Amino acid sequence: AQSVTQLGSHVSVSEGALVLLRCNYSSSVPPYLFWYVQYPNQGLQLLLKYTSAATLVKGINGFEAEFKKSETSFHLTKPSAHMSDAAEYFCAVTEGGNNRLAFGKGNQVVVIP
């Protein structure tokens, strides 16, 4: 069963506009949630994580995400897109035991000048 759903494989945003990437999860227990970013030809870097503390989580490079239990969501936002934000973004959730992370299919973000 898919634990993480990311809609829209490709997302285009104008430079200076809001970046909004949606992530919904399915979990029977309170999850740990993560957003990772992958720049071209590189590995994944942790953007931010939710681990049952504050529901609004701030990460690197001006990104933030809000955990909403009632909506089973963990959407990622950035108020103003920059050209350097062009990358692929993955939402991930803890799954089962043994520290396994399940990843969504990713959003490829293109920033239009």
Least separation in angstroms between residue 99's CB and another protein is: 5
> Are 112 and 88 contacting, i.e. CB atoms less than 8 angstroms apart?
no
What secondary structure letter does DSSP report for 99?
Answer: T
Q: Which of 7, 12, 18, 42 binds another protein (CB under 8 A)?
A: 42
Up-side HSE of residue 112: CA atoms within 13 Å toward CB?
7
Q: Binding of another protein at residue 74 (CB under 8 A)?
A: no
Tell me how far apart the alpha carbons of residues 76 and 25 are, in angstroms, rounded to a whole number: 13
Q: Which of 25, 104, 109, 111 binds another protein (CB under 8 A)?
A: 104
State the residues that interact with another protein by CB under 8 A. Answer: 6, 9, 32, 34, 36, 42-46, 49, 51, 90, 94, 98-106
